[in-house]
Structure 1
Amino acid sequence: MSIVWLDERACQNAEVCGGKAAALSRLSASYAVPPGFCASSQSGSGALIQAYERLSQHLGVTAAAVAVRSSAADEDGQQLSFAGQYATYLNLTGANAVLAAVEQCFAAGTSDRVAAYRATFGQAAQPKVFALVQQFIPADCAAVAFSINPVNGRRDEIIINAHWGLGEAIVAGRAEPDMYVFGKAENRVIHRQIGAKAALMRPTPHGNGILELRTPPALAAAAALSGAQIHAVARMALELEQQCGYPVDIECAWQTEKLYLLQCRPVTACLK
């Protein structure tokens, strides 16, 4: 494999592009999935640079800001998610930065952390690891949603965690986010808790990386999502659950009133 684009049918195969990329590829025609491509360790630097330049041209810029993430063949499956085990690099600009991050994504497949995770679940085989390169979304606010309550297993509830800025603050556990319990039958929020949101993540002003900042007190006290945004995230989670045929864990981001889908995977804890 050289380069496979997210909107190509070949990218829907986890053996070709990894589980993360395959899931997003299958959904890219129906949802606002940031455009991008997938590379393997055999792609070569020349093909990677050409693909990055093509993506930049598609986005109308000289050098696009991108997110680079590992996408392993057995990642985000119905048995194991490998959540947080592989590599993610956000807000990278320029071919050299992208090439370096792609190499780090490949190397993540042989890290001690991934090996320990695999051993815990009796997985001995070395996975195929790919690198997913996508347009970086500098989110105004972000959310992680579960189409089933992952704590008590209730299938009539959608759980939404939300925060200002990038979703990395949520997934990396850097701040207590807002939490909403959305009743499917009621079609409304049935419980809400405004989190402390003491820190938030923003892209660095001049590219290549993100910053952890203290959340301004007024922003920390305010709800990160409006009522309409909560309904939109809940609707997306419910639609994806119905489309996939199992409870899903999604990551999404709002930027200038547009909702982007950044990841979709099974809620493995509730499928076992």
Structure 2
Amino acid sequence: MGKKKPKPVLNARNADKYRLYQESVQEPLSEVSFIAYHYKRTHGRPAMSLREDFCGTGLVSAEWVKSHSKRTAVGVDLDASVLVWGLKHNFLPIGRAASRVKQLNQNVLKVTTEKFDVIAALNFSYFVFKKRADLLAYFRAARASLKPGGMIFVDCYGGPQSQMVMCERTRQKGFTYIWDQHDYNPVDSTTLCYIHFGFPDGSTMRKAFTYDWRLWQPAEIQEALTEAGFNDITLYWEGDDLKTGGGNGIFRATKRAENCDSWIAYISACR
């Protein structure tokens, strides 16, 4: 047998931006484990059905159905092209488990006929709603799409550093992930951010992803969830890694936290 051809060195022309995003941003196994643990801890039974809002490539949905032979997932996104990518790269490769995943090319503000144990809006995707009325409409629609006792999980980020114009570069295998906080307006808490990818040959895939968001604070999110009719609202704060000074990836329920330079938190709420 001949030797396998080496993989081509990544550059801005041949790299797949969705694959790079998944490798540098997402942690589907950790998120599925987190959601499953807290749902079971709350209800004493496992969550079986998930709706992944703003699902993009559907990586969390794929991990969800892989985690249990009876779990089902529905991914919702307005971008048809990214749904097609996810079907090819994330669902077809998992074989029979893919039969338990559906993709919906529609607005997350639409109440789904099917009801779910869990709805997840991760990677700060719902920050696209800049007006409180729109955020509230989303939470109300999500609540109406949950089964009785169903739970919503969202994440948020903040800290003084989140309001600074800055670029943060993180080395990955074969490329560099660049988080560009391009603009922040303290008057209305809106922020404009980009993801770029840099490569060993010096080329850069600029503005691979653009985020025009409102930087919602935990108190605002929890108040909107309450007004939307949710209860048992819990915030989970990330612990500290004493060696690196950053987060340790372990999130615990809390009502008070240190305002670090940057932080990430999850929020859950029950219908």
Higher RCO by CA contacts (8 Å cutoff, separation 6 or greater): 1
Q: Which structure has the bigger radius of gyration?
A: 2
The two structures have a TM-score, normalised by structure 1, of 0.25
Higher normalized strand content (fraction of residues) = 2
